[in-house]
Amino acid sequence: MASNSTDSSGSEKKKAGGIRSRAAVVHETNAPLVVEEITVRDPGPGEVRVRVAACGICASDLHVWRTGEGLAFPAVLGHEASGIVEAVGPEVTAVCEGQRVVVAWVPRCGRCGACRSGRVHLCAAVRTDGSDGSLVLGDQSLGRYMSVSGLAEHIVVSERAAIPLVDGVDLETACTIGCGVTTGYGAASITGGVRSGEQVAVFGCGCVGLSAIQAARIAGARKIFAVDPNRERLALAAEMGATHRVTPDDGNPVKKIQTESDGGVDLAIEAVGGGAIVRQAFDSVAPGGRAISVGLTRFDEQVEIPLVSLLLDKSLRGSIHGSADPIVEFPKLFGLVEQGELELDKLVGPDFPLEKVNDAFEALESGRAIRPRVIF
């Protein structure tokens, strides 16, 4: 396939060794994102170039933009993307040109210790710098956020990170499966191991939390407590399966959960970020219960728990990307969406063009949107 792309005016443009494309570039911590023309190199062995259709704005993008933690500037953010395979490099066998895909930020390199031990969600090949040289501004390689950088019209990723999407699922809506939905659903079903008849509490009703609530409902949880100060989000949580709504305005959420669950829940999921919320999740579980921390916090933030609680067989565990292997879990989630069991449409929006990317970040930060998207 010829290496070309379509610019905003619809004309075809080529550049030796790659194509010209547009991307939202952040040059330093907390600086506004700037839409600039970049060069996207041709895919190499085992790589594909994807024309991005949609990219969700995640709280993790907001975190690294505001703090600069774990990111090499200048960079292109965005790690929750879907699109169409536009070109394939040598030795690619998993996908073909023209195929609709959801991009996984887990590279699944197959060589690192995590991949060899079956924990591909911890793959060491995840990159946040520009060392692969796939996105270039002038003569400078751009930092890649979580190996994706979906806030660009075109990206180059490993073929193992391009998961084919079934026909029955909308391409733009499916971008949320690339991170938020899988992270929340997996935190409940894989990391947390939710079982039928259990009681579950979910702290935070954003995209991740609402996906965890849906996982608990699908698994047959008996009671599902949704905790959030936003009553509109609590109402949405109830539509998605929460049986109890808890807001800090009504008093101590831990006490309310303990009272209405007869001593504590079996599983609590923290989907906000912050030591205080992690502690609330841990305190809300009964003896023998599991607390799962999901939200991204500042790298130096800590949480204290009473050691005596561990003697009651309570556990606190972290979860990244829902402990999921995208090649295995994405198709399962696609199937649940097709069957009407997993709701995505109410999680996404409003939508913004690339030129309004800063407005998309503001919509997320202000709480006006659960999962704003940039649509290409």
What are the tens digits of pLDDT across the range 36-93?
999 999 999 999 999 999 999 999 999 999 999 988 999 999 999 999 999 999 999 9
pLDDT at 357 over 70: yes
Query: Which structure tokens are listed for 121?
Result: 């969600």
pLDDT tens for each residue of 206-227 = 999 999 999 999 999 999 999 9
**Per-residue pLDDT, 346:** 95
Kindly state the DSSP code that residue 259 receives in the 8-state scheme: H
User: Among the residues of 77-228, which ranges form H helices?
Assistant: 113-116, 180-186, 207-219
Q: Token pair 């303990």 is at which residue?
A: 258
pLDDT > 90 fraction of the chain, expressed in percent and rounded: 84
Domain annotation for the chain: domains and CATH numbers: 5-178+343-375 (3.90.180.10), 181-321 (3.40.50.720)
**Per-residue pLDDT, 70:** 85
pLDDT at 3 over 70: no
**Per-residue pLDDT, 13:** 40
Give the pLDDT band (50/70/90) at residue 251: confident
In three-state secondary structure terms, 68 is coil
**Per-residue pLDDT, 10:** 36
pLDDT tens for each residue of 308-329 = 888 899 999 999 999 999 999 9
Share the mean pLDDT of the chain. Answer: 93
Kindly state the average pLDDT of the residues 179-203.
98
In three-state secondary structure terms, 281 is helix
Query: CA nearest 23: which of 66, 86, 77?
Result: 77
Kindly state the average pLDDT of the residues 231-236.
96
State the Cα–Cα distance between residues 255 and 178, nearest whole angstrom: 35
Kindly state the average pLDDT of the residues 274-299.
94
Give the pLDDT band (50/70/90) at residue 11: very low
Kindly state the average pLDDT of the residues 236-255.
94
